[in-house]
Amino acid sequence: MKKISVVFLIFLTIFFCGFKKKEKPYVILSSSYMNIESMKRVERVFSSGQRIYYTVIVPDGFKYSGMRMQVSSQNEKTSNWGFSIIQSNDIYVVKSDQVYRDYIVIQKPGRYIIQFFYLNNKRYPFIHKEFFVQ
């Protein structure tokens, strides 16, 4: 009985500790250029007319060499579930890279969503984040 419980314990240890969980891509927004200190601060509220720096981090590297950055605003007056596209850019990256940095400027206050799509699958974003402009 002891041998069976030891084997079972070893099996559980290997099963739960042996497999690495896949890291998901994410985006960091900041009001200043990205460095170690600004990456520690989480910012979701920005001033109008201010540069909003974003950093896209994909731990496993980009799957494809092209992606689309899209910024949408949300208000109840539009017909597309309250979202209207403010800005959209196609970006070309090196597949082996893990980080992409740039900035956007938004003039009107409101609630916004920044999304990133691969160019071969523009239906579903692989990263999205909500933020506000005052």
User: Which mean pLDDT values do the consecutive 10-residue runs of the chain (134 residues) have?
Assistant: 77 70 86 76 89 91 92 74 85 91 93 93 91 94
pLDDT at res. 50: 93
Written as one letter, the residue type at 41 is R
Give the closest residue to 69 by CA, choosing from 33, 119, 110, 35: 119
Q: Give me the pLDDT at residue 35, please.
A: 74
Report pLDDT for 25: 92
Looking at residue 10, its pLDDT comes to 76
End-to-end C-alpha distance for the chain, whole angstroms: 66
In CATH, the number for domain 22-133 is 2.60.40.1930
**Given this model, what pLDDT does residue 122 score?**
85
Burial 106-124 (b: 16+ CB within 10 A, else e): beeeeebbbbbbbeeeeee
pLDDT of residue 81: 66
SS3 state of residue 80: coil
110 neighbors 132 (Cβ within 8 angstroms): yes
| Phi (first) and psi of residue 128, to 5 degrees | -150, 150
pLDDT of residue 5: 79
Spatial separation of the C-alpha atoms in residues 52 and 54, rounded to whole Å: 6
Element (H, E) at 129: strand 127-133
> pTM here?
0.77
